[in-house]
Amino acid sequence: MVGIHLSAQVASWLVTSRNLYLAIHVLGIASFLYIVSRRLVPLVRAQCDPRFDRPVARLGRVWKYWLGQWKHPRYKFAGTLHILIFAGFILLALRAFSFLIVGVSPNFVMPGLSGEMGHVYDLATDYAATIVFLCMVIAVLRRLVFKPARYAVPARFGKSRTADAVFLLGLIAVLMVADSVYAASHAAKFAQQSQAVESLAYLSLPWVLQVAFRSMSLATLGGLIAGAYLAHEITFYFLLCYRPFGIQFHVETSLFSIYFAKLDRGTIKPVRWGVADENLDQVKSFGVKTFEDFTWKHILDFYSCADCGRCADNCPAYAVGRPLAPRFITTKARDYAFHHYPVLGKANNSKALIGTIYSEDEIWSCTTCGACEEECPLLVEYIDKIVDLRRGMIDDGNVPQSLQKPLKALESRGNPYGKMEKKRADWTKPVASQLNGNVPVLDGKNAADTLYFVDSITSYDDRMQSIGRATARILTQIGTNFGILGAAEKDSGHDVLRFGEETLFMALRDHNTEAIKESGVEKIVTADPHAFNALKHDYKNVPPVEHISQVLAREVKAGNIQFNRIDDSDKVYVYHDPCYLGRHNQVYEDPRHVLDAIPGLKRVEMQRSRDRSFCCGGGGLMLFYEPKEDQRMGVVRVKMAAEAGANVIVTACPFCMVNIEDAIKVAGMEGKMSVIDLTELADQQMIRDVCPRELETATAGG
């Protein structure tokens, strides 16, 4: 259309119809602006969210995730389809605008697209319209015939959106056909009048239609041109105004949603942006209770979700039958927004979200594993929203029964087990003789460069204490001048924060920060990814922290650590990525590097590994929560390891260890599958002069 020269008859017809087209333009644009302004009302009433920093990083995100469609190929077929449609839309945008303007200004040619350039553009867009049309046909067939499981909506989460999706896909197909019919009938008419006409792209939809229209009379072709133009105009504006009522609103909002997406992995948003911790007592209500308690960005997320189902498809809670699927957290909120903030009429008063659109169990079911956020092509956020909803429940006193005891114990004793503070360093006793003395407690009498932050589970759980001892032996072996906080250490509070207990988290954080500062250390090492994430992202002003797998990998690369050969040829190892080491902190290769440095170790990969790892079920105080579920996440994970051909699961997190060890028993796979922590394996295989490897056996029960 950009380069097509209109025949005099068509031009005159367009001139006489100009007022009609002008009226359609004005009505269409005004309606769209009005609808969008109404959609903005809840964003204006929502909580603030400072997302205007770091413009370069944000533009980089737009470049990569919006224009580059970076995440789409994670689902090969649907991703390719989406990339083709997106590229087609980008190409066709100028053609569509030219098309609209031609109605009121018949001789309009888009600047820069006249002559040869315009002809090349027309050929490209002939193909683009064809490809988008074919993609629509395929997408409709997928929705109606092949029905991928991830599009299904279980009854408990609402009603199917297939009809809406198919209707919208159909409208886009109509738009492409109208565009092509216009181009084809126009070209056919020129040809019949023996006027010079630019050729249409060979075998494109306009080209095929032109061949079909060849024998039509001039009058019929004139009618087709008028009809196609009108159909295109009406469909274009109908689509524009209909999209803000459903899943296709993402066409307008996704660019903004991606630009304003969260930049800092592993963090949790504050209770209220702009309110300092010391002023939190002035905040009347914590967290999200009503719709307006969400931030404007989180409401923008609700508008931007394309309902593709990828988040739920990767959610471990959904996979094991818990009452949670991230996709529906969004779609239920969007439906709520559309209902309570109607385009026509007044906004309704907001009701409490828990008990109306969300259930308590649904919100407690999340492990904060981050798989949903990792997968979403539009960077929709979930963890902050879920934590905010939990803060709201905690503020109202709604704490699950099974979590009340550990929370009280954390408050009074600094650990969820209610054990004595003075016993926090008891795990070190069996290793004292082999480390040439006790692990130093940095209590003012001892000093060290490095703090080994142990955290509660490794300090108190009999089985996990082995990880602590292995870590201490590794640090000693590589000559680290380290110590622990002992009784002065409290739980890092990582999962307390994600559980929504802000005040308790702040007390734990402040206590530990003070103790760390007093210890005078310059570095922190931990073997617990939850503590690692807390110290790295939730604490401020503490020395830099490393996970032990990073230390091990560095020492292996430097040649300071060498391993004995694994002689058991029957053992096949697989590494399970802990969520708070992998997805939240991007430590994927270091643990694998350590494993691959052990001579004779046979290692396989699970299909769901690295950023697609499947949560063991241990995050967010889940060790103490009893969710409604069909099976345990750990059991699913153990089966995945078996499917990969492994019989030893290596992990690098005490929470994963507890869950997987338990899951092996539940799945009846004892003797066929075992689990070991990376520190235990490294410690066991390490070549050394001191520290006999039989230590654990010798000191068992000691």
User: Residues in the site for ligand SF4, rule: CB under 6 A?
Assistant: 305-311, 315-317, 324, 326-327, 330, 366-372, 375-376, 378, 380, 382-383
Q: How far is the CB of 239 from ligand SF4 (least distance, A)?
A: 19
C-alpha dist (Å) from residue 462 to 465, 594, 665:
5, 26, 18
Residue closer to ligand SF4 by CB (options 308, 597) is: 308
Q: How far is the CB of 62 from ligand SF4 (least distance, A)?
A: 16
Distance of alpha carbon 285 from alpha carbon 278, whole angstroms: 15
CB of 365 to ligand SF4, least distance (A): 7
CA distance 604 to 606: 7
Closest to 455 (Cα-Cα) out of 514, 508, 520, 399 = 508
Neighbours of 349 (CB within 10 A): 7
How many residues comprise the chain? Answer: 702
Closest CA to 382 of 358, 402, 400: 358
**For residues 487 and 490, what is the distance between their CA atoms, to the nearest angstrom?**
8
The CB-of-622 to ligand SF4 minimum distance in angstroms stands at 9
- Where does residue 192 rank: exposed (0-12), middle (13-18), buried (19+ CB within 10 A)? middle
**Encoding tokens for residue 388?**
């905010």
Measured distance CA(673)–CA(660) in Å, rounded: 10
Q: Give the residue with the Cβ less far from ligand SF4, 375 or 555.
A: 375
List, in order, residues 6 or more apart from 672 with CB less than 8 Å away: 642, 647
β pairing state of 482-483 and 523-526: unpaired
**Minimum separation from the CB atom of position 497 to ligand SF4 (A):** 14
End-to-end CA distance of the chain: 84
Q: Around 31, how many Cα atoms within 13 Å sit in the side-chain half-sphere? A: 17
Smallest Cα–Cα separation from 183: which of 199, 167, 164? 199
Tokens 């004139």 locate to 222
Is the Cβ of residue 553 or residue 633 nearer to ligand SF4 in the bound state? Answer: 633
- CB nearer to ligand SF4: pick between 200 and 299: 299
Q: 420: closest CA among 370, 458, 470, 459?
A: 459
User: Which segments of 356-459 are extended strands (E)?
Assistant: 450-452
Judged by CB, which is closer to ligand SF4: 4, or 306?
306
Query: By C-beta, is 121 or 580 nearer to ligand SF4?
Result: 580
Structure tokens at 302: 């609700």
Measured from the CB atom, the residue of 409 and 621 that comes closer to ligand SF4 is: 621
In angstroms, give the least distance from the CB of 319 to ligand SF4: 9
Q: In angstroms, what is the minimal distance from the CB of 669 to ligand SF4?
A: 24
CB of 299 to ligand SF4, least distance (A): 14
Tokens of 559: 């040649």
Token output for 276: 């300092």
**CB-based contacts of 221, cutoff 8 Å, min separation 6:** 185, 186, 188, 189, 192, 213
Give 34 or 77: the residue with its C-beta nearer to ligand SF4.
Answer: 77
Task: Supply the minimum distance, in Å, between the C-beta of residue 330 and ligand SF4.
Answer: 5
- CB atoms inside a 10 Å sphere around CB 344: 7
Cβ atoms of 50 and 270 within 8 Å: the answer is no
Q: How far apart, in whole angstroms, are the C-alpha atoms of residue 400 and residue 106? A: 68
Quick one: angle between helices 465-477 and 548-557, nearest 10?
A: 30
85/470 with CB nearer ligand SF4: 85
Q: How far is the CB of 333 from ligand SF4 (least distance, A)?
A: 11
Pick the closer one to ligand SF4 by CB: 4 or 376.
376
Nearer Cβ to ligand SF4 (132/378): 378
As measured in angstroms, the least distance from the Cβ of 83 to ligand SF4 is 15
* CB nearer ligand SF4, residue 364 or residue 573: 364
- Shortest distance in whole angstroms from residue 625 CB to ligand SF4: 12
Q: Which is nearer to ligand SF4, 305 or 581 (CB)?
A: 305
| Biggest alpha carbon–alpha carbon distance for the chain | 101
* Residue 358 in tokens: 């969300």
Task: Report the alpha-carbon angle 465-471-475, nearest 5.
Answer: 150
Nearest approach, Cβ of residue 168 and ligand SF4 (Å): 15
Give CA–CA dist 521/447, Å, rounded. 8
